[in-house]
A and B are shown apart, each in its own frame.
Chain A
């Protein structure tokens, strides 16, 4: 099965600055995690998103005109920061991979993929 791992974190938590040893350690953790996914045959794709203030939301009501607003879909303390699309045999394996994320704090939502449309 395929699962989307959605990573939500508190953006106000200060992250280590690039160039510091803390940053290198932090990044090394993520690189190792990515490698674990690749080695285990779980990797499909992934992305780290720009922070939520860069988000723009298009709101569409039935029969109405599109409304474009500044900011993310929902103003919550924890914002979507990135995702992994993985393949796993079952939910237990997907949850184990989600728990292995080097995320210091936050919420990780694991959702099964219903289907992936083929692009031409």
Chain B
């Protein structure tokens, strides 16, 4: 067995089994922090062991037993006196061999462990950035450094967020349960998955390991959520949005790592199978007659995805969808997008008027970049150049910086 095969198996199981193993161990030891730590340790142990001895016949069982043995060792060392009966029982188990759990043996795609853990990681009592880090680590199987690379933040900040979140889960008594009104908690999970999706879409961190591909991880978890919480229009809406976005993942940046605008992308390379899947999911969502912001964003993404050429883009429909979206969630970024769509439908001057009316985005690079494009289209090259330069000052993502540098060169050499 090559190291690559063993490592790939560890990665696969870190994603597929984390939810179940952490859920079961948290239940047995009444300690999420412990469960999460020993799961990470078991993954590290698996890398060494599987490289040397090959992937075991029952990898999930191996990981579970290893994690559980480590948990028992830790409890022994810590001399936890608070639950002597649990400890004694677990210690006996440690001597006679680790009892497996029926849920490890007969896992099915619809078991609730992943959902339980998603709801815990995305609990509104935790800070949003902690929710994101915790979700990616426990359910995404990403390491702290991969999360840090994906979000362009220091690894110590990610570690800090995870520690803080786990401490609050323990001290404030945040439960690992599925509440009766699970629908009321789904929006919090969606917010986290949307944020990860957005970061991957806009961030596109270069030079980061392939595993830190936040976009496909967000998509995988959203697909999982759609199975665990079926019939939810907004879950389907977010899923459709991500599928549409994924369909043009390869054309989003050029070979040099610079962002390519939608209008300039090579649409023949778009993944039509994903476009069709997105259409089907969105149709399903819309048929539930329970509209929401994720469905509207999916609708907009779908209009783009289904336009075979940039000229085919149905801008008036996109304007209408943005107008609805703004009524639902009065976000400044959505008003910015609305203004750009209006410019495409009705001309740069109408778009600029709307853009100027959105205040509070003074330090947002995309506001300046959009304004620059519209000024350029309106024939005001000097103002466009100044706006592009301001956007570049504010942008910090490499792909976006490279794109803005090119635009500045183009405008200068007009």
- Complex Cα–Cα for A96 and B179 (A): 11
User: What is the CA–CA distance of A85 and B171 in the complex, to the nearest angstrom?
Assistant: 17
Q: How far is the CA of A84 from the CA of B86 in the complex (A)?
A: 33
Cβ contact within 8 Å between A112 and B175? no
What residue in chain B is nearest A88 (Cβ atoms)? Answer: B173
Q: Mark B165-184, 1 if CB is under 8 A from A, else 0.
A: 00000011111010100000
Determine if A92 is an interface residue (Cβ-Cβ < 8 Å): yes
Interface residues contributed by chain A, number (CB under 8 Å):
10
A window 41-76: CB within 8 A of B: none
Q: Are A112 and B173 in contact (CB under 8 A)?
A: yes
| Residues of chain A within 8 A of B177, CB atoms compared | 90, 92
CB distance from B196 to the nearest CB of A (A): 24
Residues of A within 8 A of B171 (CB): 112
Q: Bound state CA distance, A66 and B173, in angstroms?
A: 37
Name the B residues within 8 Å of A112 (CB-CB). Answer: 171-173
A28 located at the interface, meaning its Cβ lies under 8 Å from any Cβ of chain B in the complex: no
When C-beta atoms are compared, the residue in chain B nearest to A93 turns out to be B175
Answer yes or no: A1 CB below 8 A from chain B CBs: yes
Asked whether A103 is an interface residue with its Cβ less than 8 Å from the other chain, the reply is no
When distances are taken between beta carbons in the complex, the residues of chain A under 8 Å from B307 are: none
Q: Which residue of B lies closest to A114 (CB)?
A: B171
How many interface residues does chain B have, given as a range?
under 10
Per-residue contact bits, chain B 115-153, to A (CB 8 Å; 1 contact, 0 not): 000000001010000000000000000000000000000
Min C-beta distance of B325 to chain A, whole Å: 29
CB neighbours (8 Å) of A105 from chain B are none
A94 smallest CB distance to B (angstroms): 7
Residue among A90, A91, A94, A95 with most chain B CB within 10 A: A91
* Any B CB within 8 A of the CB of A15: no
Interface check A17, CB cutoff 8 A: no
Closest to B176 in A: A90
Rounded to whole angstroms, the CA-CA distance of A45 and B335 in the bound complex is 49
Give complex CA distance A88, B177 in Å: 14
Bound-complex Cα distance A91 to B32 (A): 15
Within 8 A of B (CB), among A1-32: 1, 3
Q: Is A100 an interface residue (CB 8 A)?
A: no
Q: How far is the CA of A90 from the CA of B169 in the complex (A)?
A: 10
A90 pairs with B175, CB closer than 8 A: yes
Tell whether A89 is near chain B: CB-to-CB under 8 Å.
yes
Q: How far is the CB of B58 from chain A (nearest CB, A)?
A: 33
Report the separation of the CA atoms of residues A91 and B173 in the bound assembly, to the nearest whole angstrom.
Answer: 5
With a CB–CB cut-off of 8 A, which chain B residues contact A91? Answer: 123, 125, 172-175
Q: How far is the CA of A90 from the CA of B177 in the complex (A)?
A: 10
In this complex, what residue of B is CB-closest to A111? B172
Q: A89, A94, A112: which has the most chain B beta carbons within 10 Å? A: A112
- Closest partner residue, chain B, to A2 (CB atom): B173
Q: How far is the CA of A78 from the CA of B125 in the complex (A)?
A: 21
Please measure, in the bound complex, the distance between the C-alpha atom of A94 and the C-alpha atom of B171, giving whole angstroms. Answer: 13
Docked complex: B159-214 residues within 8 A CB-CB of A: 171-175, 177, 179
> Taking the nearest CB of chain B, how far is it from the CB of A104, in angstroms?
22
Distance of B183 from chain A, by nearest CB (Å): 15
Task: Tell me whether B125 and A95 are in contact (CB under 8 A).
Answer: yes
**In the complex, what residues of A have CB within 8 A of residue B172's CB?**
91, 112
Nearest B residue to A92, CB-CB? B175
Residues on B facing A (Cβ under 8 Å): 123, 125, 171-175, 177, 179
Q: List 15 A-B contacts (CB under 8 A).
A: A3-B173, A89-B173, A89-B175, A90-B173, A90-B174, A90-B175, A90-B177, A91-B123, A91-B174, A91-B175, A92-B174, A92-B175, A92-B177, A95-B125, A112-B173
Extra A-B contacts (4), CB below 8 Å, given A92-B174, A94-B173: A91-B174, A91-B175, A92-B177, A112-B172
**Considering the complex of A and B, which 3 residue pairs feature the smallest CB-CB distances, nearest first?**
A90-B175, A1-B173, A90-B173
Chain A residues packing against B (C-beta within 8 Å): 1, 3, 88-92, 94-95, 112
